[in-house]
């Protein structure tokens, strides 16, 4: 993989490359999201509504792990492929090694912080008195697996960048299968409840993490010495620069989740639904939405090696073709998800346990309104990651922040003042629509720049 003529990223048909890189990435992201879905399913059928609410309270920390993983993984992978496209092999080695070192350090630090400040965090994330004990039990255990979760999610990007997308998928799949098998065993057979779900999750993450580390120790295209993992401004700063966009996007999701939890608790308490029903419904909707969004993120991660290498090699035509084909696939998948969410909300909610008629009425309404613009939700993440992949992190960061921070967060605070709990529901589609328009306009402008700089 040393030049444009011999590297398949620069010569193979874009459709074939997308199938090769995006599909395993999509499967890996889907499988990763199953950790939360499987826990939600079994907890809902054993502990009940309060257990579902507790997993929603813990969810911001899962998002934080993903944010740190993408910061290191995408930042490292993008720099690695750009360097390989420019035939700068030594720099590529330093970027891959630096990303691995950053992931390991981030995982350990996060586990320590959560262990020290667990209860204040759960209260800040919106836990009520009835939910707090469940949240403490679940998060206190799952936090021990954060280093392995970060290594698995972030390391998968490096494995794809090295040309092994199928192996990255297998790593994540192995952990998810283990989690799915152990969840009912621990929760029902051993009667461990929330703790059982948490331990099942950790065991799966440890297996996946070890598999990823095993591959990263033996890269195919380059040799990564241990010294490359040590802190180095020359490698860490570029990694942070190109990884900051997906990092901010995930952290924005975390902030929004915390604000939404507290808003639902406050305004739910003033409504006929109470605080727990909105929290439980929001938890399920967040996890279900993650399944669809995992596909979109999988596509955006799958295009990264293709776009980065061809942009580094000066092939603008292939960069544009990759973006267009990826966006078309994302829109088609998003439209299918939109129809599913609009037609079958009650059936989806019923999968995660029973509840009162009031519970299902609120859940159906929440589903249909909050996820109304699902069919255009693929535009923003794919466009933001494209800018990251070509080394223009500033635009990637801005687009990553549009939906969550610039638009959704203020709407979550303002609309409920006038609309009560309904304001939480309507804030999402408004933010989705504006973010999609901004992303399309930015990419249209970038295409013009690419046409001038890379006319081939």
Dihedral sign of CA atoms 15, 18, 20, 23 in order: negative
- State mean pLDDT over 237-242: 89
Chain-wide mean pLDDT for the chain?
87
pLDDT in tens, 145-175: 999 999 999 998 899 889 888 898 899 889 9
pLDDT (0 to 100) of residue 35: 67
Q: Which of 324, 322, 330, 328 is nearest to 306 (CA)?
A: 322
Beta-carbon contacts of residue 441 (< 8 Å; ≥ 6 apart) = none
| Coil vs helix vs strand at 276 | helix
Pick the more confident residue, 59 or 3: 59
pLDDT in tens, 65-88: 989 998 999 899 989 988 988 888
If you search the block for the tokens 């999968």, which residue do you land on? 351
Q: Which of 389, 335, 411 is nearest to 157 (CA)?
A: 389
Model-wide pTM > 0.75: no
pLDDT (0 to 100) of residue 114: 97
pLDDT (0 to 100) of residue 277: 82
Confidence of residue 214 (pLDDT cuts 50, 70, 90): very high
Range picked from 186-190, 206-210, 386-390, 418-422 for highest mean pLDDT: 206-210
Least confident range from 3-7, 12-16, 108-112, 363-367: namely 3-7
State the chain's maximal CA–CA distance in angstroms: 66
pLDDT (0 to 100) of residue 152: 93
Least confident range from 28-32, 79-83, 102-106, 438-442: namely 28-32
pLDDT in tens, 285-311: 877 887 788 888 889 888 888 998 889
Both tokens of residue 28? 């890996």
- State mean pLDDT over 190-218: 93
Q: Tell whether the model's pLDDT for residue 179 goes beyond 80.
A: yes
pLDDT (0 to 100) of residue 3: 45
pLDDT (0 to 100) of residue 2: 43
Confidence of residue 60 (pLDDT cuts 50, 70, 90): confident
Q: Which of 313, 302, 321 is nearest to 391 (CA)?
A: 313
- State mean pLDDT over 22-49: 77
Q: Tell whether the model's pLDDT for residue 4 goes beyond 50.
A: no
pLDDT (0 to 100) of residue 385: 87
Q: Which residues of 376-405 are buried (b: 16+ CB within 10 A; e: fewer)?
A: bbbbbbbbbbbbbbbbbbebbbbbbbbbbb
- State mean pLDDT over 234-248: 86
Confidence of residue 1 (pLDDT cuts 50, 70, 90): very low
Alpha carbons 58 and 440: distance in angstroms, whole number: 34
pLDDT (0 to 100) of residue 456: 61
Alpha carbons 131 and 129: distance in angstroms, whole number: 6
Q: Tell whether the model's pLDDT for residue 185 goes beyond 70.
A: yes
Q: Which of 376, 351, 377 is nearest to 363 (CA)?
A: 351
- State mean pLDDT over 433-455: 90
Alpha carbons 412 and 422: distance in angstroms, whole number: 10
Question: For 48, left (φ over 0), alpha (ψ -120 to 50), or beta?
Answer: left
Q: Tell whether the model's pLDDT for residue 103 goes beyond 90.
A: yes
pLDDT (0 to 100) of residue 63: 85
Confidence of residue 57 (pLDDT cuts 50, 70, 90): confident
pLDDT-above-70 percentage for the chain: 97
Alpha carbons 440 and 314: distance in angstroms, whole number: 23
């Amino acid at each position: 993989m040393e030049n444009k003529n011999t590297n398949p990223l620069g010569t193979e048909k874009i459709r074939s490359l997308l199938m090769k890189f995006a599909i395993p990435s999509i499967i890996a992201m889907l499988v990763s999201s199953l950790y939360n879905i499987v826990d939600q399913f079994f907890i809902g059928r054993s502990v009940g509504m309060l257990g579902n609410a507790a997993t929603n309270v813990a969810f911001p920390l899962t998002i934080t792990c993903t944010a740190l993983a993408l910061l290191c993984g995408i930042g490292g992978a993008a720099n690695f492929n750009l360097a390989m496209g420019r035939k700068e092999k030594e720099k590529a080695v330093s970027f891959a090694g630096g990303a691995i070192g950053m992931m390991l350090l981030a995982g350990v630090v996060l586990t320590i912080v959560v262990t020290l400040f667990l209860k204040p965090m759960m209260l800040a994330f919106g836990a009520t008195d009835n939910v707090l004990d469940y949240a403490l039990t679940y998060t206190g255990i799952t936090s021990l697996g954060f280093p392995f979760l970060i290594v698995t999610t972030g390391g998968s990007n490096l494995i794809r960048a090295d040309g092994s997308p199928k192996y990255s998928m297998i790593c994540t799949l192995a952990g998810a299968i283990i989690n799915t098998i152990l969840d009912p065993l621990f929760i029902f057979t051993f009667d461990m409840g929330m703790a059982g779900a948490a331990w099942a999750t950790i065991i799966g993450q440890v297996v996946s993490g070890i598999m990823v580390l095993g591959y990263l120790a033996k890269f195919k295209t380059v040799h990564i010495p241990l010294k490359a993992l040590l802190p180095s401004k020359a490698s860490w700063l570029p990694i942070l620069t190109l990884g900051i966009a997906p990092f901010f996007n995930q952290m924005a999701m975390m902030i929004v989740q915390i604000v939404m939890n507290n808003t639902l608790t406050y305004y739910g308490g003033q409504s006929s639904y109470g605080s727990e029903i909105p929290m439980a419904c929001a938890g399920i909707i967040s996890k279900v939405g993650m399944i669809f969004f995992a596909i979109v993120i999988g596509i955006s991660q799958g295009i990264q090696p293709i776009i980065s290498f061809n942009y580094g090699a000066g092939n603008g035509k292939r960069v544009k073709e990759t973006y267009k084909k990826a966006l078309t696939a994302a829109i088609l998948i998003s439209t299918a998800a939109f129809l599913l969410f609009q037609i079958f909300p009650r059936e989806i909610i019923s999968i995660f346990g029973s509840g009162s008629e009031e519970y299902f009425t609120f859940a159906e309404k929440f589903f249909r309104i909050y996820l109304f613009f699902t069919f255009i939700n693929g535009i923003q993440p794919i466009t933001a990651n494209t800018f990251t992949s070509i080394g223009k992190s500033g635009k990637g960061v801005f687009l990553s922040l549009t939906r969550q921070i610039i638009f959704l967060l203020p709407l979550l605070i303002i609309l409920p003042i006038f609309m009560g709990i309904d304001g939480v529901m309507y804030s999402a589609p408004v933010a989705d629509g504006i973010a999609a328009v901004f992303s399309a306009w930015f990419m249209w402008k970038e295409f013009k720049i690419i046409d001038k700089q890379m006319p081939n």
